[in-house]
Amino acid sequence: MQKMDSRDMELPLLWEKALKLIGPEKGVVHLATAAVLNALWDLWAKQEGKPLWKLLVDMDPKTLLSCIDFRYITDVLTEEEAYEILQKGRVGNREREAQMLAHGYPAYTTSCAWLGYSDDTLKQLCSKALKDGWTRFKVKVGADLQDDIRRCRLIRDMIGPEKTLMMDANQRWDVPEAVEWMSRLAEFKPLWIEEPTSPDDILGHATISKALAPLGIGVATGEQCHNRVIFKQLLQANALQFLQIDSCRLGSVNENLSVLLMAQKFGIPVCPHAGGVGLCELVQHLIIFDYIAVSASLKNRMCEYVDHLHEHFKYPVIIKKASYMPPKDAGYSTEMKEESVKKHRFPDGEVWKKLLAGQEN
């Protein structure tokens, strides 16, 4: 196979630009673009014999910048400014790489406190997580205020006052409702409220952010952001204190790189979304690269971890002491096991045959 370099990324980017008339850069087309480009990054890293994070860390800044589309964001980040950020990130990067290899990137768990869990299940899962060394927990909120108060008190009592608690509303509230609801939950000292309202409502997030700041509660969002332009505006509007990139919602590694660099310019910590199938496997590469080569900081930074479905991947994440250990296998950790793909293939896979048979009955 012919060796790949940054020029090989140009054709997919041209293809993406040609689709602007039905977007641009959003919806199913953008998701499909991400899938294609993520696959190319996986191939590139495998040809270099490196995990993706290492490919990015070792890449010359000018080569890396050639993979980024700066359209629509030069009013906040020029290519020259991005180059300066990457050059500054080279200082001490080998020491930070060694730190990652030894200790990993801090993670938080979302697996303990989903809506609908009974109190017994919640207690059991929190107790196990504490024994496993977890110190950062996220709880789902937003369905019923009194139930949220009860559940958050239960969790805070279990984890104690020193450990970190986050809350996630998954877009449930209008803006005034979000402010009022979180004012009632402020006693539990959440670090952030995630997706308090529509992910498209930039000014709504800004209003919530301003209202909750005196309570010490930050706003986090990003898993449903269509593209770098939405992130640009969230940053410009001071609408978030924690930025949550998604390895598949954005246009692959290429677009995530631009958002990482914008976040660094604005001084906003990146705490990636990683709840879906395979997202933990992918996003670990991006956040490890961010620490080593861009932000050089772990302050208020952590990466989401959900403990399910990793068994379908050839190179599943490795968590030690509540931290992502840097992948060592070449590639983007995206490759699924052949038997899992076969089992879930539509419409002749075993899983789909059972579902379709059930519908017929």
Quick one: 126 exposed, middle or buried, by C-beta within 10 A (0-12, 13-18, 19+)? buried
Which tokens sit at 118? Answer: 């009974």
pLDDT digits (tens), the chain, 361 positions = 556 665 565 555 565 555 555 667 888 888 999 999 999 999 999 999 999 999 999 999 999 999 999 999 999 999 999 999 999 999 999 999 999 999 999 999 999 999 989 999 999 999 999 999 999 999 999 999 999 999 999 999 999 999 999 999 999 999 999 999 999 999 999 999 999 999 999 999 999 999 999 999 999 999 999 999 999 999 999 999 999 999 999 999 999 999 999 999 999 999 999 987 899 999 999 999 999 999 999 999 999 999 989 999 999 999 999 999 999 999 999 999 999 999 999 999 999 999 888 887 6
Buried b (16+ CB within 10 A) or exposed e, 157-190: ebbeeeebbbbbbbbbbebebbbebbeebeebeb
Domain boundaries, the chain: 90-335
Quick one: 348 exposed, middle or buried, by C-beta within 10 A (0-12, 13-18, 19+)? exposed
Catalytic residue list = 140, 273
Q: Which CATH number fits domain 90-335: 3.65.10.10, 3.20.20.70, 3.40.50.970, 3.20.20.120?
A: 3.20.20.120
Q: What is the pTM of this model?
A: 0.92
